[in-house]
Amino acid sequence: MADCIFCRIVKGELPAQIVYETESVIAFRDLHAQAPTHVLVIPRRHIATLNDLMPEDASLMGEMVLAAQAVAHQEGIADQGYRTIMNCNLAGGQTVYHIHLHVLGGRQMTWPPG
């Protein structure tokens, strides 16, 4: 998608601090970090929201979760703990319509989330 900022990061048209990548996913630091570690894991392929996932995307979603795990190890937050979040649509707080798994850590998380 030409007007999707995350597709533009995938294509190298917009700068990003990429910390991890595979053939199908990339992970980069969030521009407005909400924790000492705040990384976004995205599929290279454009999928707008969680609602748009198809059964054939199951392994891609698994790869995203495994990428989040790899990032947590790489960032040294795996053992102390971290949070993964996917926001969906307006009420879910989604602002960028290319699915992304937030990986947050390096501080104590609270519950319930806002």
Q: What is the contact surface with ligand AMP in residues (CB under 6 A)?
A: 5, 14, 16, 30-32, 40, 87, 93-96
Residue in the block written with tokens 């059964």: 55
Min dist CB 19 to ligand AMP, Å, is: 12
Pick between residue 55 and residue 114 the one whose CB is nearest to ligand AMP: 114
As given in the structure block, the two tokens for residue 15 are 């700068």
Per DSSP, what are the bridge partners of residue 29? 39
Active site residue 100: yes
Pick between residue 59 and residue 95 the one whose CB is nearest to ligand AMP: 95
Task: Using DSSP, state whether 75 is helix, strand or coil.
Answer: helix
Per DSSP, what are the bridge partners of residue 102? 40, 85
